[in-house]
Copies of this chain bind each other. A is one copy, B any other.
């Protein structure tokens, strides 16, 4: 008797949720990701702003699989998903056949056609995005240190687009970074007087899904950190040293961070399945795709409708994780000859941190929290969510240290360009 084979594509919250739920199921699992690590996306902005290091935001999937005997991992690029023949084609590797398939390939940045964005904007959805931004900021400061005339060219003006959690958290952390560490690192530069962080949001509020009280608190807290919040304003064009706003105003800046939207992983388009807004694949209430009871789509690549409220769920890590676990459960039910169950999301609250020591938390049933208490809640929830035991303690130590000392992680720049330069010295 050959064992039932479950193939999970993507090692994000959704894919890992499914794998972990199948721990004791009578199946063989193969999890495939193009990277050899899971990314803890809610903390990417902390990697970019030197608050945490790569080890604290990315976790090796192989290490996670040590705990699970029925799962193996391959780091491979997915070339084609052949739903007809139940096979996944991979680069540099034999195709993998499946009995059940879980597609949790996530989302990529969506610039909505903004001119110059592909070339000049810094998105913040992957580890590499975070590294690229971190390196850019450090290199830019070193450049200004050598040539302070660049300040008048906008080199110390940092722009963030998007008033959602990514934009709000990044703007807050960035302003803190500039006015804590950077001032001390560059005693020769007028960081205090000249460095500024601007946050643009096309709508009339920050953190749209949150309650008005929390939206106002977030805005006030950001302003207290020195961030200039500009509502009802979008960016229409992005250049290397300036951006053009929708209103026509030109802002000199060398740094535009894009936190204004995502679209489904482009692999979604090749599946031949229906796609809706943002390229997402609409799924049945049991998270399978229309007509294929052995194929499940979860996480940011899916459009998931809550079976209880009949509303489309937001693209959140907690939704992905719960949906992934639900798929694991449904596959186990199918393997055991039972019927699948519809997915109901349990809202445990949404939150956003605003710099060090402040946050907004929106609990289900209309509860809210702000300030230090909310921030501690935010900290607790994220520490709990973090996968793995070792990482948890290291991260806690590093965070604790940062909070107490206002020091940041290492501002080490290392790129291929430097490698070339090194050969000459």
Contacts and interface: CB of A to CB of B under 8 A. Distances in A.
A37 B92 contact: no
Given A62-B185, A92-B143, A54 B410 contact: yes
B186 A62 contact: yes
A249 interface: no
A124 B89 CA distance: 37
Given A63-B185, A72-B188, A397-B397, A37 B131 contact: no
Interface string A264-293: 011100000000000000000000000000
A274 to B, nearest CB: 21
A126 interface: yes
A43 to B, nearest CB: 15
A78 B425 CA distance: 7
B411 A58 contact: no
A35 interface: yes
A414 B62 contact: no
A295 to B, nearest CB: 18
A412 B77 contact: no
A105 B54 CA distance: 29
A411 B93 contact: no
A422 B128 contact: yes
B34 A414 contact: no
Interface residues of A, number: 61
A287 to B, nearest CB: 21
Interface in A184-198: 184-188
Interface string A232-256: 0000000000000000000000000
A263 interface: no
Given A105-B425, A398-B394, A407-B390, A412 B146 contact: no
A5 to B, nearest CB: 14
A357 interface: no
B397 A146 contact: no
A340 interface: no
A127 B414 contact: yes
B409 A55 contact: yes
B410 A145 contact: no
B146 A418 contact: no
A54 to B, nearest CB: 6
B186 A142 contact: no
Interface of A: 34-37, 53-55, 58-60, 62-63, 66, 72, 74-78, 90, 92-93, 105, 126-128, 131, 138, 142-143, 145-147, 184-188, 265-267, 390, 394, 397-398, 401, 405, 407, 409-414, 416, 418-419, 421-422, 424-425
